[in-house]
Amino acid sequence: MPADLWFESLHRTGHDIVARGERLAGGWRQLGLVEGDVVALLLRNDPVFADVAAACRIAGIYYCPINWHFTIAEVRFVLEDSGARVLLVHADLLESVRAAVPPGVAVFAIGGTDADAIEYEPWLSAQPPYDGPRVAPRAHLAYTSGTTGRPKGVIRNPVPLGDADSQLARMRSVVAQSFGIVPGCRALMSAPLYHSAPGVFIQQALQMAERLVLTTRFDAEQVLALVEQHRIDVLYLVPIMYVRLLKLPQEVRARYDLSSIRFVASTGSPCAPEIKRAMLDWLGPVIHETYASSEAGMVTVATPADAAARPGTAGRPIDAAQLRILDVDGNACAPGEVGLVYVRQPAYPDFTYLNNDAARRAIDRDGLISLGDMGYVDADGYLFICDRASDMVISGGVNIYPAEIEHQLVRYPGVADCAVFGVPDDEYGERLHGVIEPMPDAEIDPAVVTEWLRARLSGFKVPRTIEIASHLPRDETGKLAKRRLRDQHWAGRTRRV
């Protein structure tokens, strides 16, 4: 039986969630959706995610979560590229994105009414349970920019029904080691569900946990209070959450009984060894860090013992996961030698990029994939991530791709060249920093540029600092030497990302 769900004052039993999922799947069938179709979600954290996760398993539908901070252009691209046939959206968000919804998409308003949308709860209560054929379960279709370019939808192949049980067993083993989710656990999720890892976490927790507690957003003291109230033993946190928890006054941290915590899972952003050590000193040996991606799934895990013995490691491969470090020519690197990280986790079905299979083939080498991460393994097979060849920035657990920002910056009047990259930030791990080379005689005010960008990009993509430089360094091939710019900011750091 699925987990009971707790959200603010709402409590739904596992029986409730199953019944709602069956009606949602039945409603989709009434709308004409068939196996393999896509529904999109533009939602803050909400119990509706549980309805959708259950219905997708029943009806074989993919759900595509969209970051509700996106601009209207970004929302439009995902809706069009995914081919979503249904959009579930919080009613108060609908007005700002209405123009982005393609013709023919059925729009459902959550938590309110809208003249041009279907009110979700009354509609759901009137739907018949699903009565269609048994189909291969589906889950989320995550959008990620991967290594470069526009966002790409990561869509996994369906698992044949005959292989479902064996694949489920492999997946549950991976989930137990990377997320700590096992039958009967009590789990808490406070991270945004439009991200891949939180989405996977709640899908698994809803199926196996006794109780899943979901919050609207992360609040450090609220998390501690909920752990005590619900006797939570499994949490998902990212390093920025560690930082905010550690900033709580000692008397606040001591106010709550946290002895039930057995496993804290972290993915998406490397954790500074000193932050992880502080968390281990506080909570005990419960902090686990996983190297993962939307494409590859959970590949390695670093246990608390690993963190103590090898600070900074991302751990060793989980179960049958494969890990290779290769140089640019595809040759295997020796232990300690930095190269491109190639991985495969067979517990996950294979994937392609929606409408862009060429991009999927481009990252494949002998059945393993690389997203441009640079790293090495030590003599005992422990992975260490050194850098990201893709220049992707992870700020507060959010993937940000500088190329998109640079493409906007170069359009600003008077900009001859520009570079955007990550620099150290004690709270977020990294923050965006921009450098602009002006055209001759052009005068550029960074504050004005910042406001110009805010009108064109989501707020989290706007560099927090911008500087003006007389010229930008380039290597012998003429390519921008972003590394030389970035190194000035990372010099002397114990951990580089």
- Name the fold adopted by 393-490: GMP Synthetase; Chain A, domain 3 (3.30.300)
Q: Taking residues 207-215, what's their average pLDDT?
A: 97
Sequence ranges of the chain with CATH classification 3.30.300.30: 393-490
Residue 475: pLDDT band with limits 50, 70, 90: very low
Ramachandran bin of 36, using left for φ above 0, alpha for ψ from -120 to 50, beta for the remaining angles: left
**Residue for token pair 């919050």:** 215
When the candidates are 3.30.390.50, 3.40.50.20, 3.40.50.12780, 3.40.50.150, the CATH number that belongs to 177-388 is: 3.40.50.12780
Contact 273, 311 (CB under 8 A): yes
| pLDDT at 145 (0 to 100) | 58
* pLDDT surpasses 50 at 166: yes
Provide the pairing of β-strand 38-42 with 4-7.
unpaired
Q: Taking residues 223-240, what's their average pLDDT?
A: 95
Number of other CB atoms surrounding residue 76 within 10 Å? 16
pLDDT tens for each residue of 416-439: 888 999 998 888 888 999 999 998
pLDDT tens for each residue of 77-134: 999 999 999 999 999 999 999 999 999 999 999 998 888 899 999 999 999 999 999 9
Sequence ranges of the chain with CATH classification 3.40.50.12780: 177-388
* Residue scoring higher pLDDT (384 or 239): 384
pLDDT tens for each residue of 274-307: 788 899 999 999 999 999 999 999 999 999 999 9
Q: Which burial class, exposed, middle or buried, applies to 311 when counting CB atoms under 10 A from its CB (0-12, 13-18, 19+)?
A: middle
Question: Tell me, what amino acid is at 117?
Answer: A
pLDDT tens for each residue of 120-139: 999 999 999 999 999 999 98
Contact 90, 45 (CB under 8 A): no
Of 487, 493, 453, the closest CA to residue 473 belongs to 487
Of 97, 124, 129, the closest CA to residue 111 belongs to 124
Distance CA 8, CA 29 (A): 31
**Residue for token pair 């619900």:** 230
Sequence ranges of the chain with CATH classification 3.40.50.980: 4-140
4-140 domain in CATH 3.40.50.980?
Answer: yes
